[in-house]
Structure 1
Amino acid sequence: MLVLLPPSETKAEGGSGGPLDLDLLSHPELNPVRAKLVDALVDLAADVPASLAALGLSERQAGEVARNAELRRSPTTPALARYTGVLYDALGLDSLTKAERSRAHRRLAVASALFGLVGGGDPIPAYRLSGGSALPATGPLGALWRPVLEPVLAGADDFMVDLRSSPYNSLARVPGAAVVRVVTEDAKGRRNAVSHFNKAHKGRLARALVESRSEPADLKSLVRVATRSGFHLEPTGPHTADLVV
């Protein structure tokens, strides 16, 4: 099983790993695009106003541009420790046991605008680049990633659980993945997508999937594992399910 998580805009500082080495990341076939984007971000960082415009940042966020300028030299840390925010707080990496953390590194992957897809344990630096960005040197990221990322995802043998957000869904389609939607249900049975707490519920589900020794191989077994963990996960189609909260 491979659970595809969205990244976060916020990143933890520092790290104890050496500088970025693309050869240490999962899916080395993505390295040519990764290298192109790293070069583009570092070069763009030399022009702070242009960087802020391309990345959709305010002047108060100029520190994010400084991060990009140091991409090749800054320390790295495992991806699941690099990303922060609501989903990753709910995942609670630091409170997992050693065995659970090992499963998290194997079972969880993060969709990344800069790296395409990284394993939970892949060593990455702090950076700023969103899925909806268009860099002057590369254009829209979807057009850059789709031709190389979709074959990688389509060729994977793992059962995939897709928890990505829409900007990252647009970077690559994943045929056959179980797509989970977080919804509420009113007294008449009508369902509405959850927006504010969407990420927290996805983080809790991801945690349950690494706490479990059982590894789902299809939608039916995914529902079974989620139900044992106290979730109301209901299939809505061959490859879709609603997480009712």
Structure 2
Amino acid sequence: MLILLPPSEGKTPASQGDAVDWNSLSFPGLNTYRAKVLEALGTVSAHEDALALLGVGASLSADVERNTRLHTEPAAPAHRVYSGVLYDALGYQSMTARQRRKADESVLVISALWGAIRFNDRVPAYRLSMGTSLPDVGRLASFWKPQIAEALTAATEGELLVDCRSSTYAAAWVPPAQRTVSVNVFTEANGVRKVVSHFAKHTRGELARHLLTRRGAAPRNPAQLLKAARENWSAELVEGTPRKAHALNIVLPN
């Protein structure tokens, strides 16, 4: 089982430590493309209209300025850098050592800057969304799609893929449908379901934590994933097709 996560929009910078070691990152075949995105991001971030070009507000000017020196910024494990609702609910720091090792092995983060990384890869904090378009790179989801597919196809062979990504990051890699389960979260009242956003992030984080910390073998197919989810939630499985992933629908009380 592998769990696919989006990065958090907000990130926690490392206060000290060495800069990113490119040779130590997972999926080193992506390094050429990482370097291209990093260079384009640094150029845009130094522009006088950087905030507008990156689609962020003035409150994030320090984050954008940091983008200009990512080669030398202190790096930290991804599970420390990424923060926010989903990652708070996942709660890596409160896991046991064994559970953390499982998370390091099982979690893949699909990133606008790094393409794909594992939880223990050391990276600096940065500000960049997968929906952004950069000079000489283009829209990042389109840029990364063939590169991530090449890097991850062999690495994920035979694994059940639990897809907790948002739609923006899901566009950067479409894994094999027969082995993929997309996680959706709804509320229901009087028989009417509504898609939720904030609680979807939180619930996906809780699901990831449950799958990483529960006793017993990890789910190996969609039916076993449904059974694991039902240990904590009301859930249903929508069978996929040869071209469309299965869907795990978690229904929260309103």
TM-score exceeds 0.5: yes
1:172 aligned partner: 173
Output aligned runs, 1:136-175, within 5 Å: 136-155=135-154, 156-157=156-157, 158-175=159-176
Counterpart CA distance in 1 for 2:152 and 2:13 is 29
Return the offset for 1:43. Answer: 2.5
Residue in structure 1 matching 2:227, options 224, 227, 238:
224
Which residue does the alignment assign to 1:240? 247
CA-based RMSD? 1.6
Deviation at 1:16, TM superposition (A): 5.2
Q: TM-score, normalised by structure 1?
A: 0.93
Question: What is the SS of the residue equivalent to 2:51?
Answer: helix
SS in 2 for 1:197: helix
Aligned to 1:92: 91
The aligned counterpart of 1:31 is 31
Deviation at 1:14, TM superposition (A): 1.2
**How much has 1:150 moved relative to structure 2?**
2.1
**Shift, 1:17, TM fit:** 4.3
CA distances 1:95-142 after superposition (whole Å, capped 9, x unpaired) = 111111111111111111101111011111100100100112311112
> Which residue does 2:43 correspond to in 1?
43
1:44 maps to a residue whose letter is V
* Aligned residue pair count: 242
1:181 to 2:184 alignment: yes
Matched, 1:215 2:222: no
Q: Secondary structure at the match of 1:26?
A: coil
Question: What is the CA deviation profile of residues 206-243 of structure 1, one whole-angstrom value per residue up to 9, with x for unaligned ones?
Answer: 11011024211111111222223x12231011321101
> Which whole-Å CA distance do the structure 1 matches of 2:57 and 2:233 have between them?
39
Distance 2:143 2:184 in 1: 27
Q: Residue type of the partner of 2:220?
A: A
Identity of aligned pairs, percent?
39
- Is residue 67 of structure 1 aligned with residue 66 of structure 2? yes
- Contact 1:14-1:76 within 8 A present in 2 as well: yes
The answer as to 2:197 corresponding to 1:195 is yes
What amino acid maps onto 2:102 in structure 1? R
> What amino acid maps onto 1:216 in structure 2?
P
Tell me the distance in 1 between the aligned counterparts of 2:199 and 2:82: 17
Alpha-carbon offset, residue 64 of structure 1: 1.2
**What is the rounded CA distance, in whole Å, between the counterparts of 2:218 and 2:16 in structure 1?**
31
For residues 239 and 193 of structure 2, the distance between their equivalents in structure 1, rounded to whole angstroms, comes to 15
Runs (5+) with no aligned partner, structure 2:
241-245
The residue aligned with 2:19 is 19
The alpha carbon displacement at 1:203 in A equals 0.6
Letter in 2 for 1:226: A
Question: What is the one-letter code of the residue matched to 2:195?
Answer: A
Q: CA deviation at 1:205?
A: 0.4
1:15–1:212: structure 2 CA closer, same or farther, 3 Å change rule? farther
Inter-partner Cα distance in structure 1 for 2:203 and 2:52: 32
* Separation in 1, partners of 2:107, 2:145: 21
Picking from 205, 208, 213, the partner of 2:207 is: 205
C-alpha distance in 2 between matches for 1:81 and 1:233: 30
Which residue of the partner structure matches residue 131 of structure 1? 130
